[in-house]
Structure 1
Amino acid sequence: MKKPCQYITDDTQGSGVTVYVIGSGANIDHDEFKHLDRKSVRFIFADPENNKKREDKQIHQGNNSPLGTAVLSKLCGSQYGVSKKVTPVIVKVTDADGKYNFLNIIQGLISTHADILLESKRNADAKFIVIDSVHVDDVPTPVTKPVYKDFYKHAIKRLSNMDNAIFIAGAVVQEKKDQEIIYSYPSILGKTPGDYPKLLVVGGVDQSYKAIENMEDWIKTYAPANDIVTAAGLPSQYLSWDGAYIAAPAVAGILATFISKGKGGIEEALSQLDKFAYQRGSTGLHRRVVYNGVWEDAKGVKFSVPEEARTEWDEWEYDAEFCRACTESNGVQPINHVVWLPGDCPCPEAGSSRGAS
């Protein structure tokens, strides 16, 4: 390869991977989901009295726009989605009043685990990703009984210990006390990876590729989380989001792509995710980012990675299996909003063009 990698997307990305989106539902009649067979999109309802295939709006950090619809569009939307061929399953955990209920959240997690077991029996090679867009501090009624939180943690532990599943959550800050940052559940569980081995906590970076506020050492995975365009409430409406809430489904889409393109399954996909992450700056706020390109058009990008951010590139090994879909552009649109941009590829085969505009 004489030019920087330009990873090519196609309509098979995510094929064969089932992704559960746990939250307040999703509006699948949005234009962003026209490519889906919307009648066949499955819903799991934690509360049988709330079985409407629509999203119940919640307040997320002051934003009352439909987060579930946004998460789904970042995962598999036709314009802004990363992995369009995943099989989405919407796990709705709001109650009959359209509000989050802690017991319903637990039920949603348990139902997701049961569904994965059932689907695994039908297809032993099936692979799954669970995106949890619900955080405990979003629940109007605080959890007062420790046993409920124990049930909740146990449900996540079971999911994150499955051989064929990955559990993903954004690193959401609940509150700040002086110099201490307290994270919301489930992201705080990422502090003990031994108990939750396949719980992937995703932090957010802004356009300078610096961590926004979640820069703890136990958070290993970062993605853009500022001014991210997604589907909104009305069928043709779009809006922008800030926060790790919306970084998580992007990373889920990358993992689904790795799983569908690779041969090694879950462990290989997680290994590739870690392998392709690197810092794009030298400050303490510059963290290893696994996803880029969201703020610029991949066709006309002029992007230069600082020299000090390229230290890991010298150790990067060319991966022919992964890069088999990596070609010179030849007029074909490089993957938009997904993995590599021209001039931002660690492949040593592209060394002479690194950082070129």
Structure 2
Amino acid sequence: MKYSGLLFAVCVAVFASSSDAAPLIKSNAGQPIADSYIVVLKEGKTLNDFIPTFEDIAKRQNGRGRKPTISRKYQAFQAFSATVNQAALKEILASEDVDYVEQDQIVTINTQQQNSPPSWGLPRISQHQRNLAAPYFYQDQAGSGVTAYVIDTGVNAGHTDFGGRATMGANFISGSANTDENGHGTHVAGTIGGTKYGVAKQARIVGVKVLNAQGSGSFSGIIAGMDWVAQRGRGTKAVVNMSLGGGKSTSVDQAVGRLFSAGIPVIVAAGNDPNANACNGSPSGAQGAFVVAASDSNDRVASFSSWGTCVDIYAPGVSITSAWIGSSTATKSISGTSMASPHVAGVAALLLSVDASLTSPNAVYNKLIQIATNGVITGNLNGSPNRLLYNGV
């Protein structure tokens, strides 16, 4: 959890062609997308200010490689993504309107697949003492009046576990069906708000599709999803879940900050690399994110979970059963910090529905920390807090 000016050591290279040029940011740890960039404008500048400049650059540099083309325009975040050749990129960096340019990257889901053992996460988060045979205790109105935005692979909105409370809100995967073609987003959504498998059983679920059928996408697409949510979620009771991640990205981290400033709690997965510090990835290293690592049914650190001081809490993430794709009743059991994060998003939605004093993301984050079960996680925490999710019942 990072809401102030904290500094982290990250593997990011910054290049500038001259002392007056905007910096070009490239992540040494990520998977770059060739000729694809995210252009962020300076404070006070707007897209309307810069688009004519870009169009002039495109005319001059067309024919010197890939044609310069704008892919996406962001509204809450004064930026855009574009495919450009190197000559056009040099001109963009030289513009006095540009704050920085970042090379786009591949982003993926944080999941490990297993066979289908029984799920245990719900009873674990509704009691401080571990008794997995106990029922799941929750308030009847859990999640009522709250919208959970699932920025992921989409949602199988017709699944019976959603009881008509799920919809597809936006699709940023060009040419894809307006549904979940992977299963990951549906599984995440089911853990947040499914009638049987969910934490906040009355929450409204909105799928924001930014990852394709293979569970892969781009940071520019993730920003588009966050931008869409920021415009619609401001001033409402809402929570965002992002069970995805990639290398460090300044623009993604700033977009998380925009959601936070819009009053929307942002719950993200820590990542599935046991050798990786969550601070060195995005969105897990973003200020304003509430970061979730995974634990198993014995309250041990999950073997795959990332770690570090950016982690805020542990939650069940091993062998979690939830809704799936393929039919209206399909289920699947999978593992990952992707499965831990929606447990927390569900509790955040539950708390927003029952506690009128939670009027900011900070208030929600502090409440999650205040009621957590402390000191029960075993294994190598590597600087992560010894704190397990609890739903407050």
> Which range, TM-score by smaller chain?
0.5 to 0.7
Give me the whole-angstrom Cα distance separating, in 2, the residues matched to 1:19 and 1:104.
Answer: 19
Aligned partner of 1:307 in structure 2 is: none
Map 1:29-44; keep pairs closer than 5 Å: 29-33=158-162, 35-37=163-165, 41-44=167-170
Q: Report the structure, 1 or 2, having the larger strand content.
A: 2
> Cα 1:98–1:246, aligned 2, differ >3 Å: closer, same or farther?
closer
Map 1:179-190; keep pairs closer than 5 Å: 183-189=280-286
Q: Are 2:192 and 1:67 aligned?
A: no
Give me the whole-angstrom Cα distance separating, in 1, the residues matched to 2:322 and 2:295.
Answer: 17
Q: Report the structure, 1 or 2, having the larger helix content.
A: 1
Aligned partner of 1:53 in structure 2 is: 178
Q: Are 2:259 and 1:159 aligned?
A: yes
Counterpart amino acid of residue 263 in structure 1: A
Give me the whole-angstrom Cα distance separating, in 1, the residues matched to 2:379 and 2:242.
Answer: 30
**Count of matched residue pairs:** 252
Native 8 Å contact 1:21 1:132 kept in 2:
yes
Q: TM-score, normalised by structure 1?
A: 0.62
Give me the whole-angstrom Cα distance separating, in 2, the residues matched to 1:98 and 1:151.
Answer: 21
Q: TM-score, normalised by structure 2?
A: 0.57
Map 1:113-262; keep pairs closer than 5 Å: 113-117=230-234, 120=235, 126-136=236-246, 149-162=249-262, 164-174=263-273, 176=275, 183-189=280-286, 196-197=287-288, 199-212=289-302, 213-234=305-326, 235-262=328-355
Structure 2 gap ranges (5+):
1-127, 130-134
Superposed CA offset, 1:200-225 (max 9, x none): 00011112212223342331211111
Cα drift, residue 104 of structure 1: 1.9
> Cα 1:113–1:171, aligned 2, differ >3 Å: closer, same or farther?
same
Structure 1 gap ranges (5+):
58-65, 121-125, 138-145, 190-195, 292-337, 341-357
SS of equivalent to 1:230 = strand
Give me the whole-angstrom Cα distance separating, in 1, the residues matched to 2:272 and 2:280.
Answer: 4
Cα drift, residue 175 of structure 1: 7.2
Q: Are 2:200 and 1:90 aligned?
A: no
Aligned partner of 2:226 in structure 1 is: 109
Native 8 Å contact 1:110 1:155 kept in 2:
yes
Counterpart amino acid of residue 186 in structure 1: P
The structure that has the greater radius of gyration is: 2
> Cα 1:281–1:211, aligned 2, differ >3 Å: closer, same or farther?
closer
Superposed CA offset, 1:61-117 (max 9, x none): xxxxx1101000000111110002112211112469985233222211211112223
Whose relative contact order is higher, 1 or 2, with alpha carbons under 8 Å and at least 6 apart? 1
SS of equivalent to 2:387 = coil
Give me the whole-angstrom Cα distance separating, in 2, the residues matched to 1:221 and 1:28.
Answer: 29
Percent of pairs with identical residues: 25
Tell me the C-alpha RMSD between the 2 structures: 3.0
Native 8 Å contact 1:78 1:84 kept in 2:
yes
